[in-house]
Amino acid sequence: MTTKTVAVVGASGYTGRELLRLLAGHPRLRAAAAMTARPGAAPEPPAFPHEPQIEPLDLRRLRDVDGVFLCTPHGAASEIARAALAHGAKVVDLSADFRLRDREVWARTYGSPHPAPELLQSAVYGLTEHAREAVAGARLVANPGCYPTSILLPLLPLLQAGLLDPRAPIVADSKSGTSGAGKAATDRTHFGNVHENFCAYGVGNHRHVPELHQAAGTDRIVFTPHLLPTFRGMLSTIYVQPAAGVSADALRGCLAERYAGEPFVTVYRKGQPELACVLRSNHCHVAVAASGPLVVLTAAIDNLGKGASGQALQNMNLMLGLPETDGLLEGTVA
């Protein structure tokens, strides 16, 4: 199998750098270009030995690559996606530009008209384990948000199997490392405000809610994100009401069966997942436990791994006809 090439746009942010790290260990995919998200930006020297120099954005360099990863802010990805698709490259967009199918929901959520509405219909929502075939055939994949990934993986099979009470709310209480807040220096990311601290934010109005509701096919999910004093990692604690007569064991059995053959999703027989077990990996670890009248699902991922760059690479592997686990299984965790 010959080596294929990709470009990483927005390569100097956390998800971009994580992609460069993963690509450095990939047997069949090479980062042929690493560029900033804007044309005028100064080139950045490599921070790590495995990194290439990061160049200012030059759309012409998208001509010669098989795939393009977009790690730009939302709103900025659309135009670059359009250019890359015109050159025939496959595109995985890690921003929010193509996650919502409805342009009006997008406009309400992000506060401006959608910059490339003509691409919305062809974009595939890339929660890989639930869209494998569509991803493999897609030209443009919208990589899911980190929070939705950690919630949908344990939740979707239960919803699809009709094992949950359809009238009861679903509580998704999520906790994320601060790399989710990005590389920009702000009060929120100041060490003095993160270290030995913890808080909820965006209660009742986080931008991931429309994505969650669309992907789950229900608006009963009540979602609260929190900011952990860690750099990486995400844990979602999800409270569901089983349908009448359905036990926690039945829910666990459903998930275990659904993910039996999946290389990146592990359903625990006992115990609880910790961030440490999934850091720097593309894995999602899930546990199921009864608690009074409800059942508690916990799911741990790395917000930069399965929650962003890992899943993006998993999707690109599929889109380029490479083994899905290439560059993702070995030696990546620590």
Residues 168-227 that bind its own copies (CB under 8 A): 169, 171, 173, 175, 178-179, 183, 185-187, 189-201, 203-204, 219-224, 226
Residue 203 Cβ vs its own copies, minimum distance, rounded to whole Å: 4
Member of 89, 163, 215, 235 binding its own copies (CB under 8 A): 235
The DSSP bridge pattern shows strands 294-301 and 234-240 to be antiparallel
Q: List CB contacts of 32: < 8 A, sequence separation 6 or more.
A: 5, 6, 7, 61, 64, 65
Neighbours of 169 (CB within 10 A): 14
Interface residues for its own copies in 246-305 (CB under 8 A)? Answer: 266, 272-277, 279-281, 283, 287, 289-294, 296, 298, 300
- Is 52 or 115 the residue whose CB approaches its own copies more closely? 52
Which residue out of 146, 199, 254, 277 is catalytically annotated?
A: 146
Residue 86 Cβ vs its own copies, minimum distance, rounded to whole Å: 32
Interface residues for its own copies in 92-151 (CB under 8 A)? Answer: none
- Is 38 or 191 the residue whose CB approaches its own copies more closely? 191
- Is 119 or 279 the residue whose CB approaches its own copies more closely? 279
**220: burial class by Cβ within 10 Å (0-12, 13-18, 19+)?**
middle
Residue 136 Cβ vs its own copies, minimum distance, rounded to whole Å: 24
Residue 18 Cβ vs its own copies, minimum distance, rounded to whole Å: 7
The answer to whether residue 5 forms part of the interface with its own copies (CB under 8 A) is no
Neighbours of 308 (CB within 10 A): 28
By the 8 A CB rule, do 165 and 241 touch? yes
Interface residues for its own copies in 151-170 (CB under 8 A)? Answer: 169
Residue 252, classed as helix, strand or coil, is helix
DSSP one-letter code for 89: -
Member of 75, 83, 214, 230 binding its own copies (CB under 8 A): 230
Encoding tokens for residue 140? 């443009």
Encoding tokens for residue 22? 């993963």
Member of 233, 242, 307, 310 binding its own copies (CB under 8 A): 233
- Is 124 or 288 the residue whose CB approaches its own copies more closely? 288
Residue 255, classed as helix, strand or coil, is helix
- Is 81 or 100 the residue whose CB approaches its own copies more closely? 100
Residue 172 Cβ vs its own copies, minimum distance, rounded to whole Å: 10
Residue found under tokens 């990709």:
6
- For its own copies (CB under 8 A), the number of binding residues is 81
By the 8 A CB rule, do 21 and 34 touch? no
Residue 263 Cβ vs its own copies, minimum distance, rounded to whole Å: 8
Q: What is the dihedral of CA 258, 260, 261, 267, to 10 degrees?
A: 100
Give the H or E element holding residue 135. helix 132-136
Residue 177 Cβ vs its own copies, minimum distance, rounded to whole Å: 8
CA separation for the pair 241, 165 (Å, rounded): 6
DSSP one-letter code for 116: -
- Is 99 or 232 the residue whose CB approaches its own copies more closely? 232
Q: Is 284 one of the annotated active-site residues of the chain?
A: no
Residue 286, classed as helix, strand or coil, is strand
Interface residues for its own copies in 33-92 (CB under 8 A)? Answer: 47-50
- Is 80 or 304 the residue whose CB approaches its own copies more closely? 304
The set of catalytic residues is 146
